[in-house]
Amino acid sequence: MKQQLEKLMNQKDLSIEEMKQATEHCFTQDITDTEIASLLTALRAKGETADEIAGIVEVIRAESQSIPTSLPHVMDNCGTGGDQSHSFNISTTAAFVIAGAGVTIAKHGNRSISSKTGSADVLEHLGVSLSFQPEKTDEILRENGIAFLYAPHVHPNLKRFMKVRKELGLPTILNLIGPLTNPVALDSQLLGIYRRDMLAMMAESLNKLGRRRALVVNGAGYMDEASLAGDNHLVLLENGKTSPFTIHPEELGLPVHSNEHIRGGDAKDNAVILQNVLQGKQGPYLDTVLLNAGLGLFANGTAATINEGVKFAKESIASGAALDKLKRLMEYSKQIPTEVL
């Protein structure tokens, strides 16, 4: 670890292997909180690279709960959080719409960290279990097309990292990599990030992690979701190549709304919003989900264009398929005892 720290403090980037070695040391018995904090702060002070992000993610995934699924085309649409927009649970709601359109979603998420209500908070309020065992998760993915992976449950060995992160109270690489650490082998991904300056780098990180296809988005107002408020900045990864572009909601036949119009509340409030959207209630919440679900379907490749993705998203809701995915996940949850995590 000392060699890697000295290199970082001299403003030199680590290779993937060097980053893996440093991260692996963080999981050993003799690691100190000071060493972990030094690694995180040195990376932040220098500025993280795609190799460093890919290296730490590979080790964290190796230390995570193994999900034994052989499904070939699984995606996630988790965002990094941290945009301070206080929006409702956009990606969580969109996940059910994407699943209703026929895409298998391993939805990775956590309780609220920087927002008022995290994906785990709203789903738990709806009766979704946070403690599915690996074999059950695989069964749900196969039968329902969407399962929820609660981050602390699938990453039990990250407690030291989380303790140091909380004590530091500063943004670090851990604020960026959450969506990348999904233990399921993902084929494609829609990744929202609150830092527009890191769009290309995060796309390259996804490439190094083996994604066939991915879309990284920073929304209008610097949201970690696509927004109806104006231009959204994106980078598409396809077959190892990246291409940046912008998209405005009006290009997709969607109305413009201020980000103020998509604010959420506590878990109870956001659960009502989520259910209303899946039931097709018109308004900014629904339109925002159509935009993000459309992007997800394009990121996966199910839709050839974003416009087609929005069309498929509308059909998923109108047919009741999206709502049915939620109802079935709630039914699976009734079959197992709920753990308090």
pTM for this one? Answer: 0.95
Residue 119, annotated ligand binder?
yes
Tokens standing for residue 60:
């964290």
Residue 309, annotated ligand binder?
no
Q: Measuring CA to CA, which residue among 183, 164, 186 is closest to residue 175?
A: 164
Residue 113, annotated ligand binder?
yes
Tokens standing for residue 146:
């969407």
Residue 112, annotated ligand binder?
yes
Residue 90, annotated ligand binder?
yes
Residue 111, annotated ligand binder?
yes
Element (H, E) at 318: helix 306-318
Residue 110, annotated ligand binder?
yes
Residue 82, annotated ligand binder?
yes
The residues, any chain, with a CB within 8 Å of residue 107's CB and separated by 6 or more, are 76, 77, 78, 92, 95, 119, 146, 147, 148, 149
pLDDT greater at residue 113 or residue 309: 309
Amino acid identity for residue 81 in this structure: G
pLDDT digits (tens, 9 = 90+) for 14-47: 999 999 999 999 999 999 999 999 999 999 999 9
Residue 108, annotated ligand binder?
yes
Q: Is the per-residue pLDDT at 136 higher than 70? A: yes
The mean pLDDT value for 81-103 works out to: 94
pLDDT digits (tens, 9 = 90+) for 252-263: 999 999 999 999
User: In a 3-state reduction of DSSP, which class is residue 237?
Assistant: strand
Q: Is the per-residue pLDDT at 1 higher than 80? A: yes
pLDDT greater at residue 278 or residue 336: 278
Distance in angstroms (rounded) separating the CA atoms of residues 64 and 151 = 9
pLDDT digits (tens, 9 = 90+) for 188-243: 999 999 999 999 999 999 999 999 999 999 999 999 999 999 999 999 999 999 99
Which part of the chain is CATH 3.40.1030.10? 75-155+164-332
Residue 33, annotated ligand binder?
no
Instruction: Kindly report the number of other CB atoms within 10 A of residue 340's CB atom.
Output: 5
Tokens standing for residue 227:
């927004």
The mean pLDDT value for 304-324 works out to: 98
Q: Is the per-residue pLDDT at 340 higher than 60? A: no
Residue 224, annotated ligand binder?
yes
Residue 210, annotated ligand binder?
no
The mean pLDDT value for 330-334 works out to: 94
1-62 CATH fold: 1.20.970
Which part of the chain is CATH 1.20.970.10? 1-62
75-155+164-332 CATH fold: Pyrimidine Nucleoside Phosphorylase; Chain A, domain 2 (3.40.1030)
Whether the CB-CB separation of 4 and 14 falls below 8 Å is answered with yes
pLDDT band at 279 (very low <50, low <70, confident <90, very high): very high
Strand ranges inside 33-79, DSSP E = 74-76
Distance in angstroms (rounded) separating the CA atoms of residues 309 and 291 = 8
